[in-house]
Amino acid sequence: MKTVSRRSLLQWVAALPAWPQTLRQKFRAGVCAGSRDEAGFLKVCDSCAQAGLHHFETSGAGLRLVELYGGRVAQLKDQLQKRRLDLAGYAQYSHMSEPAKQQEVLQLHLQIGRFLHDVGGRYITQLWIPPPKPGVPDDQLLKHVTAEDYRNFGRQANEIGRRLRNEFGVRIGYHPEQEDVAAGLVDRVMEATDPRYFDFVPDVGHLTAGGLDPMQVYKRYRSRIIATHFRDWDPNAAWERDGKPIKGRFVPLGQGVIPLRALASYLEETSFDGQVNAEGGQLQANYDYLAHTLSLDMS
């Protein structure tokens, strides 16, 4: 029998094709879900649990949980634990670029931060209401953001982000909506803020609808993404609003043009360990798409 030298064996092993590695999903997958009143919120929680969803982000734009449960966090935690739910994040609109509202906005965010810390939440999704300007209608304000507005936003966002991290271990990130994206705010806001204290919560549907490539945005700001929303967009869908024809709308996951599978794979490949939330459509359909089409771990 021929003896194989150790060197020959090592050369033979090195020539073998690499064994495929299975990527391990580090991020949590869930949904955005909210309501206008406490009964509706608890009903949404029931629906999430029934659909097999465990992680969710809620919104302070409708029901302000931070005010409703501010004095009874233990009761909210009990309601969530009964349903095996994790309140991961809290979406919040505020006038962060208005110096006159600086203390008001700071105290609001510290209140939210304390609430999230106590209930086990991890981040704030920050939506921006631009400051009012004489003679400019509210629906046109995003087109008239000034350099000073960006500077004011950055100063306030950095201070709030620093306080939230240091005092509560809670992070905060900018969530641009379609109008923000179309008006060119994304890069300007991110450049105005400090990566040490202020992060990013992109919605791939809003990015696409506003004219950006979500994969390019992911790659540009990957180090600052703490959560992201999965939503789909069909640029050819025709509908009407106030009697006017409109082209392009959000659609159920998998029915639009956004490469959700590629985006999920990129997050896995880069060891993203934040939150991925489906938004829009039915909760059960969102679960089915995330769990069965994208094969995400929903536990």
pLDDT confidence band for 154 (50 / 70 / 90): very high
Pick the CATH number of 25-293 from 3.90.1150.10, 1.20.1440.230, 3.40.50.300, 3.20.20.150: 3.20.20.150
Rounded Cα gap, residues 136 and 120, in angstroms: 41
Share of the chain above pLDDT 90, in %: 78
Rounded Cα gap, residues 172 and 164, in angstroms: 8
Q: How many CB atoms lie under 10 A from the CB of residue 88?
A: 24
Scanning 132-203, the segments in alpha helix (DSSP H) are: 147-168, 178-182, 185-192
**pLDDT digit string, tens, across residues 188-243:** 999 999 999 999 999 999 999 999 999 999 999 999 999 999 999 999 998 888 88
And the tokens for 104?
A: 């008001």
The per-residue pLDDT for 12 is 52
Q: How many CB atoms lie under 10 A from the CB of residue 260?
A: 22
Question: For all residues of the chain together, what is the average pLDDT?
Answer: 91
Pairing of strands 244-251, 199-200: unpaired
The domains of the chain are located at: 25-293
pLDDT confidence band for 260 (50 / 70 / 90): very high
